[in-house]
Amino acid sequence: MYGISAGHGIKHFGQGAILILVPEIKATLALSDVAIGGMFAARDASMGLANVPAGILTDMYRHRVPMLLAISMSFVAVGYLLIGVSSWYWLTVLALMILGTGTSLWHAPAFSELAIRYPERRGFAMAAHSTGAQVGNTTAPATIGLLLGGISYLGVEWVGLGWRTVAFLLVIPAILTVLVIVSRFKGKAAPGGKSVSLRSYAGATARLIGNPAVLAMALMHALRGAAHNSIQLFLVLYMADVLNYSNLTIGIHVSLLTLAGIVSTPILGLLSDRFGRKPVIAFSMAAITALVLLFLVAEDGWGLTVTMVVLGVFLFSIMPVIVAAAMDSTERGSEGTSIAVLFAGGSLVGAVAPILAGVLNTHWNFDAVVIFVAIVAAVGTVLAIVAPMGRRDGVSGSTGGV
């Protein structure tokens, strides 16, 4: 659990770093808000599509899970290498798609491995894994902001690094993670997780795709992801373009969106194990709706800062509970495919959100993005209340539990 969670933290460090590079990339390539939204939409679409082969390979070749994790981080390294050399919009789009593919390839093998190893504590295991992500999401923005913006404090003067140099530096932790996985985790897939035949896999997959509980959680994941990606991306641009915050200040504020989640993620996971997934998911989505709307009045200063901290309690932290809810309704042997359906559906449906948010930001400013995100989260709240969910019996084998 701790090894996979640590790797997840490195993966999310790379995934979160790109946000702080966005204003620099936008200025260098002279891009519009819609172009930036399209770039991240392409990334999200590639993330969705990458989950399909990841899920298939995870379930059919369970003993190859460490190899899949190593491939995931290799794609992250290649993505940042291309970002660093690109001076062309479409090459940058391709680089983000490769980066997105790498980050998504991690999910199916990692989440399914934890679901098999810890069936009685699935909510907590998923939350522990996502706590690693929260650490990566929290440390990346502040670190990248410092590298870009430099520092001037107590006589220490450092002007920082160029954004291309920072992109190249991000290749290093990804490569080191690959080396650790290959050397330390080779052949150590979960003993209880057996590979399945193509025939049995196809049958389990067909039943999974027709499972209303899993499909409902896939839509829930899409709505949560659309809200998260849209508000996060355009908060960065709002702070850069409207508030004229420095790179370091922007980085610190983006870190605040996930800082509280380091503590709240395992708590929400434990609460969902004890009291059920539905009330935890519904309350969290309602809280996201209300807190996002506060950006309409908390436009700068401490109001903005505090709102971002409190929003961070729920914004990413509820994701592992959604994953656990999907796994509660998944047959043994198709855990990887369940994760693939969840993340593929979420990424593909949510891929249009950054483009819509870009249009809204261009024509009606950041307040329009806030209202859009609040509506998305509100729809998620309603879905959480009415959606069927599987039993929390710790056994992957229910056919829906609805």
Place of tokens 């001037």: 152
Q: Among 230, 214, 165, 262, which Cα is nearest to 366's? A: 230
Beta bridge partners of 152: 157
Give dist(CA 80, CA 74) in Å, integer: 10
Helix (H) or strand (E) holding 51: helix 33-60
Confidence of residue 201 (pLDDT cuts 50, 70, 90): low
Higher-scoring residue by pLDDT: 338, 34: 34
Structural element, H or E, at residue 20? helix 2-29
Amino acid at position 166, single letter: V
Tell me the whole-structure pTM to 2 decimals.
0.75
Question: By three-state DSSP, how is residue 56 classified?
Answer: helix
Contact present, 148 and 24 (Cβ < 8 Å): yes
pLDDT tens digit sequence for 46-61: 887 887 777 777 777 7
3-state secondary structure of 87: coil
Reduced to 3 states (helix: H, G, I; strand: E, B; else coil), residue 157 is strand
Contact of 81 with 168, CB cutoff 8 Å: yes
Distance, in Å, from the CA atom of 189 to the CA atom of 68, rounded to the nearest integer, reads: 11
In one-letter notation, the amino acid at residue 191 is P
Instruction: Give the helix ranges, DSSP H, for 242-334.
Output: 247-259, 261-275, 277-293, 301-311, 319-328
Give 341-361 pLDDT, tens digit per residue: 777 766 676 778 888 999 999
β-partners of residue 153 are 156
Query: At the top level of CATH, which class does the domain 2-185+206-386 belong to?
Result: mainly alpha
pLDDT band at 395 (very low <50, low <70, confident <90, very high): very low
pLDDT value at 145 more than 50: yes
Task: Check pLDDT > 50 for residue 369.
Answer: yes
Cβ-count burial 192-214 (b if 16+ within 10 Å, e if not):
ebeebeeeebeebbeebeebebb
- Give the range among 27-41, 108-122, 185-199 with minimum mean pLDDT: 185-199
Q: What average pLDDT score do residues 224-252 get?
A: 91
d(CA 325, CA 321): 6
User: What mean pLDDT value characterizes the chain?
Assistant: 83
> Does pLDDT of 208 surpass 80?
no
Neighbours of 46 (CB within 10 A): 25
